Amino acid sequence: MSDFADSPAVRRLDDWDRERLESLAAEYDTPLYVMDLDRVKENYARFSTAFPDAHVMYAAKAHTGKAVLEAVLEVGGTIECAAWGELQRSIDAGADPNELQYTAVNPPDHDLDYATDLAADNPGLTITIGAMDTLERLAERGYDGRIAIRINPGIGTGHHEKVATGADAKFGIPYERVPEVADRVREDFDLVGLHAHAGSGVLTDGLEDHCRAISRIGEMARRVGDEDLEFVDVGGGYGVPYREDDEPLDLEKTSNMVREAVGDLDARLKLEPGRYVVADAGLILSEVNTIKEAPDTTVVGIDASLATLIRPAMFGSYHPMLNVSAPEREAHEVTVGGPVCTSADVFAHDRPIARPERGDVVAIGNAGSYGYELASQFHSQPRPAEVALEDGDARVVRRRETLADVTRVERESGQ
């Protein structure tokens, strides 16, 4: 693992092998997701090395592809899940159910049915609750096993208000109610930990607010008796630099600040990186199909869309872009958009890119996190293929959908 941990702290879009990317686009067509599993392993190992005494779990919601989960497990990782599908996919990838943690957020009945059935044969499974209702529903199902309480610290952090979960009433038990809930859990369940997640996409300059939330978690752990807890889970949210001039997360500083913020504990520290592990391990390859001169800009149409990558439309997110086919051309400021019929389907406005021409392959970087996970069939577009790179080889880990795949559930229902 030490070789992985010594890898560069950030992988820029320029660091990818352009000739390899062009060959992948030619062989597998576009739009195409590409995931570098070696980079996934490097990122997980580097993060774990920065927290040598902590338990580091990969947050599966960032990318639940089987190949990615297998890569995390290969380097000794465990997995945190937020839904029953993630539990099942983790098990399919080879995870021991006794090492999984399920963080329930307003869970539907089928989620709790699945989790409690799984725990009946795997008592090491941990269920994290964020509401008393969830505890009562678990009791109704005869569950009396391992429980962690999700705290709402009242402090949200991250790159966008829609991911600042620490200040959102949807997530976690209100801070001052935690001791009362802890007493209730201890009556009929095994209280093993406390959990919180302040937000997502935190870089070094956002650590102060992030650690203010973490300090509240540590305070509450001592208040409810951390000597009786197995762990204190401060969540994930650790970011990567999306813009070319942003600095990578300073892991040494992060580790020191997190440990100082949480304070002295008998319980073990637990963290849940997701984005940090997979974001810069993935990109999208897309082909230019339209060049249109408009009064105020040049519009470059590509075959990827918000159905392929919704983050720019949902969060206003910046993703680096590179003309893989001709990086030596003079850069022109262009607007890059896809084929979906909405003004939201734009990846970049006035972005300097080596002058695109029809047929060029464009790469969209940092797409490994919440990329394929949020892909859709909007406009009845089949979802793209995904290729994994590992040890110099490439293989398809998700085939490209066909139009028959898009309509299959209707046809199978007799429509």
Q: Which residues are catalytic?
A: 341
DSSP conformation letters of 91-136: HHTT--GGG-EEE-SS--HHHHHHHHHHHHH-TT-EEEESSHHHHH
CA separation for the pair 221, 226 (Å, rounded) = 5
- Is 31 annotated in a binding site? The answer is no
Residue environment code for 238-273, b if the CB has 16+ CB neighbours within 10 A, otherwise e: bbbbbeeeeebbbbeebbebbbebbeebebebbbbb
CA separation for the pair 277, 395 (Å, rounded) = 20
Q: Which residues pair with 232 in a beta bridge?
A: 194, 269
CB 212 within 8 A of CB 261: yes
Rg (CA), the chain: 22
- Is 274 annotated in a binding site? The answer is yes
Residue type for position 132: M
- Is 44 annotated in a binding site? The answer is no
CA separation for the pair 228, 151 (Å, rounded) = 17
Residue 348 tokens, joined: 């970049």
Half-sphere exposure of 391 (CA within 13 A, CB side): 1
Angle among Cα 10, 238, 65 to the nearest 5 degrees reads 80
- Is 238 annotated in a binding site? The answer is no
Residue 377 tokens, joined: 């069939």
Residues 321, 325, 328, 333: is their CA dihedral positive or negative?
A: negative
Of 250, 267, 256, the C-alpha closest to 195 is: 267
Site of tokens 């720019």: 312
- Is 370 annotated in a binding site? The answer is yes
- Is 146 annotated in a binding site? The answer is no
Residue 121 tokens, joined: 């044969």
CA separation for the pair 29, 396 (Å, rounded) = 12
- Is 237 annotated in a binding site? The answer is yes
Q: Which residues does the annotation place in the binding site? A: 237, 272-275, 311, 370
Q: Which residues does the annotation place in the binding site for pyridoxal 5'-phosphate? A: 237, 272-275, 370
Q: Which residues does the annotation place in the binding site for substrate? A: 275, 311, 370
